[in-house]
Amino acid sequence: MDIPFSNTLLIMNNLEKPSSTNHNNRYIIIGVSLLILTILTVWTSYFTATVGVSIAIALAIATLKGSLVASFFMHLITEKKLIIVILFFTVIFLFALIFLPFSDTMNNVGIPNDY
Amino acid sequence: MSTTEHSRQSFWRQYIFSVDHKVIGLQYGLTSLSFLLLGFMLMVLMRWQLAYPGEVIPWLTFVVIFILLGLGILLLSGKSRPYLALNSLIFFGIAALIWYFSTGEERLPGGIMLPEFYNQLGAMHGTIMVFLGVVPLAVGAFGNYILPLQIGAPDMAFPRLNMASYWVYFIGGTLMIISFFLPGGAAQSGWTSYSPLADINTGQTMWLVAMLFIIVSSLLGAINFIVTTVQLRAEGMTWFRLPFFVWTQLITAFLLLLAFPSLQIGAIMQLLDRVAGASFFIPAGIIQGGKVLEYSGGGNPLLWQHLFWFLAHPEVYVLILPAIGIITEVVTNNTRKPLWGYPAMVYSLFFIGFMSFLVYAHHMFITGMGTAVTTWFQTTTLIISIPSIIFLAVIVFTLWGGSIRFTTPMLFALAWVPMFGIGGLTGLPLGLAPPDIHLHDTYYVIGHFHYIVAPGSIIAFFAGIYYWFPKICGKKLNDNLGKVHFWGTIIGMNLTFAPMLVQGMAGVSRRLYDGGLGYDHAQPVLFLNEWMTWGAWIIGIFQIFFILNIVLTLRKKSRSEENPWDATTLEWATTSPPIAHGNFITEPFVYHGPYEYNVSVNGQNVPYLPQHKKMDIED
Amino acid sequence: MEIPFTVSERPDTGLTNPKFGIWLFLASEVMLFGSLFSSYIILRTGSLDWPVQSDELNITIGAINTAILIASSLTMVLSWTALKEKQFKRFKLFIGLTILFAVLFLVLKIWLEYIPKIHHGHILSTNTFFAMYYLMTGLHALHILGGVVVMIFFWGPGSKMWQTNPDQFVNRIEVVGLYWHFVDLVWIFLFPTLYLL
């Protein structure tokens, strides 16, 4: 390591050293946000809208909440690339698991099982 | 662990509840081979019925044969090899099971097979072969034993989890066997357990409980394999220096990890349908025997099929990918040439693993899916055939121009190529919806998948056993017995499975206990039933040479060299068998790729360059 | 030879073995609960007489339980940061709170939801909605129970590792935390699906 740079790196390291109190505050803020979003989820559910809109709103808020939990509580936002890549493919397969069977049964929605 | 600590380990900790991947691999190997034998025996009973429908099954002959085999092992092992002698219990156990089948009025009354019992044999043959035989052998045995050695690791990442996964598998397997003895017998709704039949048929509950255990075992193992392969590679073992066998185990582990949960859920739901009166898969107003059953209804039988096949399609790649890995090791070693197109093989692996999640409903073409959905699955299915072709092509190109050594493992590996070719090609008409309408649920399907699993995977496993036996036991199996075993097996397998393709094209349905006897369209091809039964007999008889070979080899005192095949991969860089704890005396450092055969170093030809030997290769 | 990277991170992946292992396990759990959601969609869209869910389930209790689980997720991550700051007593406090919240969740679920419903005659065999409700929330509750057992172990006898191998102990708590946050995440989707839609 070149001597002229070592001091700079030392200073940089100290500046960048994450203070745990900051992280704790961040977690508390996320926690409170999640509680607020929960109230929001329940509140929006009382407005009768079309089925599609209700599902979209509920899913959107849930996805936002889930992203907060995953990104911050589960530290995904600073996680190593390998984990992100594996989760990315997992989500693709999850979509396949949800949409492929549904695309089949969708053809027969509303048709009663009569003999 | 020092040698003194090691010798202080009790018998139980060393051999029964061991956390050493080598011991666990051998446990998996012995258990899975026993289940393969059991599954084979169930099929022999079926094949007798198919060849001679309604006639007396010579169960006593089979009992005697197995008792004699057990006695033979006892005699040959002698007092000097007590653990080898214990293996005779497997044969006595199977003999006892066949004898049990002959008792009572529900299976073979007067020696004549009841249709319900035929169905039990069919469902359990499939279940045992797939879940208790092939996968545990491919992954639990070969993977567990060889993978840490090939990457230069001291053990798996999670040794206790490894032990747990074996014992959970053992429990699941035991439950499956117990199911034969319960009232109503074992599962009899096919290994595919379609609802609503499986929801109300006998024998299914224990099958489902056993599956829950087996699936947990697979999940624990999958986690271990992935973490081990990624994290415990020795220094210098970069990704593209890994033996291809390791790559196949890695992708297989991902398939198990991400696909099995859907069957876990399906199994729980079917179990709840059976024991808690739920209606996950039961439609409203379902009638059995003229009576309306008391279910709330509202369920969807096709949901079972979606959940089942979401696993079961990736599962078939679990059955074949480790086999392709084994074949690659044996072929490169015995052509004395590097693998032609290593990157192509790896990328094909990724591709096939990815696609395998998107093709599953080609098993459901006749369920009334719409045209859009059918087109999706048909298209993805044809696309997924491409990587398999790449695998075959690369192996053929590797053979081209090589100095082929016709060792016993190589015989099996060479035969594998055309056999897997037939298996794969016969899959194409099934992957296209229009011909599948005609071929679905016929013997054509059975012929197709047996070609892939029997002269496919099983042949590959034989290649692997002959190849790695000296590594595991320090002695090579006898070549002459091996060649006899090979020829008998390959001829027997073709005689058994080729006629299935013919019968299927003629329209003979699968799962018929009389082999098509009652159908006009089957009459012209009925004679093939006897041929196939003879084929099965031939396969069985020639396995005796294999068992004999193992017993005699284990019995003898003389040992072979540590690297009798002049192989390059890391498992051959240590003692045979590898030292108990830690595998390698000193941690290996990897300098080369896995298949540096006949390469030039300092102007001189080096016949084989072990991965851990420091030498510079010139191109 | 020791197994490497059990506590230290492997340089090229940046991961310890247990951290990698738990994420793989969670990936399989995504597929497990994903299968349940997929089945739910199929059964509900294919049904002619699916009950109005908010009539059958108590949204207030569900919302309270959601808040409880979110709070427990917060206390869980705070117990981990406490360990990283070498505050063992704070760790015990926060993981103890997590356990209490989790037990409260189960108590509310069993006593205020399951038992009244069973007395009312609403069981698995009543209709497909209740079958899915019991299966989905029941499997989730089993996961909570499993987490509670592990957390009690680490609050109690397992915490001795803090003296013998503090780095490994911190990592283990992080691993437990990841599992726990995932259980919370599943409920975040379960609650609107079963109670609100």
- CB under 8 Å to B289, separation ≥6 — which residues? none
In a shared domain, residues A61 and A36: yes
User: What CATH number does the domain containing B588 carry?
Assistant: 1.20.210.10
Alpha carbon of B76 to those of B38, B81, B91: distances in Å? 22, 9, 14
Closest to B492 measured CA to CA, from B43, B128, B58 = B43
Q: Alpha-carbon distance B457 to B416, whole Å?
A: 8
- What is residue B99's predicted lDDT score, i.e. its pLDDT? 96
Contact B99, B63 (CB under 8 A): yes
Closest to B173 measured CA to CA, from B203, B130, B202 = B130
Q: Is residue A114 part of a domain?
A: no
Q: Is B293 on the interface with A (CB under 8 A)?
A: no
Q: Alpha-carbon distance B561 to B575, whole Å?
A: 9
Closest to B319 measured CA to CA, from B136, B554, B475 = B136
Q: What share of chain A is helix, strand, coil (3-state, %, to 5)?
A: 80, 0, 20
Q: Is residue C4 part of a domain?
A: no
The domain in which residue B451 lies consists of: 18-54+113-285+292-608
Q: With contacts defined as CB-CB under 8 Å, which chain C residues touch B258?
A: 27-28, 31
In a shared domain, residues A59 and A85: no
Point out the residue among A24, A31, A55 whose CB comes nearest to the CB of C81.
A24
Q: Is residue B497 part of a domain?
A: yes
Q: For residue C174, how far is the Cα from the chain centroid?
A: 14
Torsion of CA B111, B114, B120, B122, to 10 degrees: 90
Q: Is residue A16 part of a domain?
A: yes
In a shared domain, residues A36 and A68: yes
- Residue-wise pLDDT tens for chain C (197 aa)? 789 999 999 999 999 999 999 999 999 999 999 999 999 999 999 888 899 999 999 999 999 999 999 999 999 999 999 999 999 999 999 999 999 999 999 999 999 999 999 999 999 999 999 999 999 999 999 999 999 999 999 999 999 999 999 999 999 999 999 999 999 999 999 999 999 98
Q: Is residue A67 part of a domain?
A: yes
Contact (CB<8Å) B155/C3:
yes
Please count the structural domains in chain B: 1
Q: Is the pLDDT of residue A13 over 60?
A: no
Q: Alpha-carbon distance B206 to B227, whole Å?
A: 32
Q: Is residue B515 part of a domain?
A: yes
DSSP 8-state class, residue B371: H
- What is residue B424's predicted lDDT score, i.e. its pLDDT? 96
Q: With contacts defined as CB-CB under 8 Å, which chain B residues touch A108?
A: 368
Q: What share of chain C is helix, strand, coil (3-state, %, to 5)?
A: 80, 0, 20
Which H/E stretch holds residue B291? strand B291-292
The domain in which residue C175 lies consists of: 29-40+56-196
**What does the block give as tokens for B120?**
């039990």
Point out the residue among C20, C126, C131 whose CB comes nearest to the CB of B230.
C20
Q: How far is B230 from chain C (nearest CA, A)?
A: 8
Chain A neighbours (≥3 Cβ pairs under 8 A) are: B, C
Q: Alpha-carbon distance C5 to B153, whole Å?
A: 12
In a shared domain, residues A69 and A85: no
Q: Is residue B214 part of a domain?
A: yes
- CB under 8 Å to B512, separation ≥6 — which residues? B518, B519
In a shared domain, residues A103 and A55: no
Residue of B225, B227, B295 to mutate, interface with C, max C Cβ within 10 Å:
B227
Q: Is C149 on the interface with A (CB under 8 A)?
A: no
Q: With contacts defined as CB-CB under 8 Å, which chain A residues touch C76?
A: 73
Q: Is residue C3 part of a domain?
A: no
In a shared domain, residues A86 and A36: no
Q: Alpha-carbon distance B308 to B6, whole Å?
A: 45
Q: Is the pLDDT of residue A21 over 90?
A: no
Q: Is residue C50 part of a domain?
A: no
- pLDDT above 70 covers a percentage of chain A that reads 74
In a shared domain, residues A9 and A61: yes
The pTM assigned to this predicted structure is 0.95
Tell me which chain C residue has its CA closest to the CA of residue A108.
Answer: C46
**Which one-letter amino acid corresponds to residue A19?**
S
Is cis: bond before B577, omega within 30 of 0? yes
Kindly report the backbone phi and psi dihedral angles of residue B243, in degrees, each rounded to the nearest multiple of 5, phi listed first.
-60, 145
Q: Within 13 Å and on the Cβ side, how many CA atoms surround B253?
A: 26
Q: Is residue C1 part of a domain?
A: no
Q: Given phi > 0 = left and psi -120 to 50 = alpha, else beta, which region is A59?
A: alpha
Closest to B140 measured CA to CA, from B115, B167, B119 = B167
Q: Is B292 on the interface with A (CB under 8 A)?
A: no
Q: With contacts defined as CB-CB under 8 Å, which chain A residues touch B354?
A: 89
Contact (CB<8Å) C73/A69:
yes
**What does the block give as tokens for B42?**
């169930």
In a shared domain, residues A60 and A85: no
Q: Is residue C22 part of a domain?
A: no
Q: Is residue B528 part of a domain?
A: yes
- The 3-state DSSP class for residue B304 equals helix
The domain in which residue A13 lies consists of: 3-74
Q: With contacts defined as CB-CB under 8 Å, which chain C residues touch A65?
A: 188
Q: Is C93 on the interface with A (CB under 8 A)?
A: no
**Which one-letter amino acid corresponds to residue B40?**
F
Q: Is residue B296 part of a domain?
A: yes
- What is residue B14's predicted lDDT score, i.e. its pLDDT? 85
Closest to B186 measured CA to CA, from B235, B140, B125, B246 = B125
Residue of A91, A103, A113 to mutate, interface with B, max B Cβ within 10 Å:
A113
Q: Alpha-carbon distance B13 to B160, whole Å?
A: 12
Point out the residue among B157, B303, B584 whose CB comes nearest to the CB of C1.
B584
Contact A74, A84 (CB under 8 A): no
Q: Is residue B274 part of a domain?
A: yes
- What is residue A17's predicted lDDT score, i.e. its pLDDT? 46
Q: Is residue A115 part of a domain?
A: no
Helix runs in B474-611, H state only: 479-505, 528-555
- What is residue A22's predicted lDDT score, i.e. its pLDDT? 66
Contact (CB<8Å) A113/B285:
yes
Kindly report the backbone phi and psi dihedral angles of residue A86, in degrees, each rounded to the nearest multiple of 5, phi listed first.
-60, -40
Closest to B208 measured CA to CA, from B226, B224, B186 = B186
**What does the block give as tokens for B347?**
């990328």
Mean pLDDT by 10 residues, chain B (619 residues): 60 90 96 98 97 95 96 87 88 96 92 95 98 98 98 96 98 98 95 96 96 98 98 96 98 98 98 96 92 92 97 97 98 95 96 97 94 95 97 96 95 98 97 96 98 97 98 95 98 98 96 94 96 97 96 88 94 91 90 92 89 75
Q: How far is B592 from chain C (nearest CA, A)?
A: 19
Alpha carbon of B314 to those of B82, B251, B358: distances in Å? 41, 11, 9
Contact B345, B391 (CB under 8 A): yes
- What is residue A111's predicted lDDT score, i.e. its pLDDT? 63
User: What CATH number does the domain containing C177 carry?
Assistant: 1.20.120.80
Q: Is the pLDDT of residue A112 over 90?
A: no
Q: For residue B614, how far is the Cα from the chain centroid?
A: 37
Point out the residue among A59, A80, A105 whose CB comes nearest to the CB of C42.
A105
Please count the structural domains in chain A: 2
In this structure, the number of other CB atoms found within 10 A of the CB of residue C193 comes to 21
Q: Alpha-carbon distance B223 to B250, whole Å?
A: 10
Q: Is residue C9 part of a domain?
A: no
Q: What is the torsional sign of CA B588, B592, B596, B599?
A: negative
Contact B286, B293 (CB under 8 A): yes
- What is residue A48's predicted lDDT score, i.e. its pLDDT? 67
**Partners of B605 in the β-ladder:** B600
- The 3-state DSSP class for residue B152 equals coil
DSSP 8-state class, residue B182: S
Point out the residue among B258, B303, B369 whose CB comes nearest to the CB of A90.
B258
Q: With contacts defined as CB-CB under 8 Å, which chain A residues touch C29?
A: none
Listing DSSP states for B192-256 in one string gives TT-TTHHHHSTTHHHHHHHHHHHHHHHHHHHHHHHHHHHH-PPTT--GGGS-HHHHHHHHHHHHH
Contact C59, B300 (CB under 8 A): no
Q: Is B258 on the interface with A (CB under 8 A)?
A: yes
Closest to B450 measured CA to CA, from B417, B426, B473, B483 = B426
Q: Is residue A51 part of a domain?
A: yes
Contact C77, C22 (CB under 8 A): no
Alpha carbon of B430 to those of B357, B368, B440: distances in Å? 17, 16, 7
Helix runs in B128-203, H state only: 135, 144-151, 159-178, 197-200
Q: How far is A6 from chain C (nearest CA, A)?
A: 22
Q: Given phi > 0 = left and psi -120 to 50 = alpha, else beta, which region is C11?
A: alpha
Q: With contacts defined as CB-CB under 8 Å, which chain B residues touch A107?
A: 369-370, 373
Look at the block and give the residue holding tokens 């041929």.
B531
Q: Alpha-carbon distance B9 to B18, whole Å?
A: 10
Q: Radius of gyration of chain C from Cα atoms? A: 19
Q: Is A100 on the interface with B (CB under 8 A)?
A: yes
Chain B neighbours (≥3 Cβ pairs under 8 A) are: A, C
Q: Is residue B242 part of a domain?
A: yes
Contact (CB<8Å) B354/A89:
yes
Alpha carbon of B426 to those of B367, B498, C39: distances in Å? 21, 11, 33
**Which one-letter amino acid corresponds to residue C177?**
G
Is cis: bond before B196, omega within 30 of 0? yes
Q: Is A92 on the interface with C (CB under 8 A)?
A: no
Q: Is residue C7 part of a domain?
A: no
Q: Within 13 Å and on the Cβ side, how many CA atoms surround B275?
A: 11
Q: Is residue C46 part of a domain?
A: no
In a shared domain, residues A33 and A61: yes
In this structure, the number of other CB atoms found within 10 A of the CB of residue B293 comes to 16
- CB under 8 Å to A19, separation ≥6 — which residues? none
Q: What share of chain B is helix, strand, coil (3-state, %, to 5)?
A: 70, 5, 30
Q: Is residue B63 part of a domain?
A: no
Listing DSSP states for C140-156 in one string gives HHHHHHHHHHHHHHHHT
Q: Is residue A113 part of a domain?
A: no
Q: Alpha-carbon distance B462 to C155, whole Å?
A: 50
Q: Alpha-carbon distance B35 to B354, whole Å?
A: 30
Please count the structural domains in chain C: 1
Point out the residue among A24, A28, A87 whose CB comes nearest to the CB of C27.
A87
Tell me which chain B residue has its CA closest to the CA of residue A90.
Answer: B258
**Which one-letter amino acid corresponds to residue B584?**
F
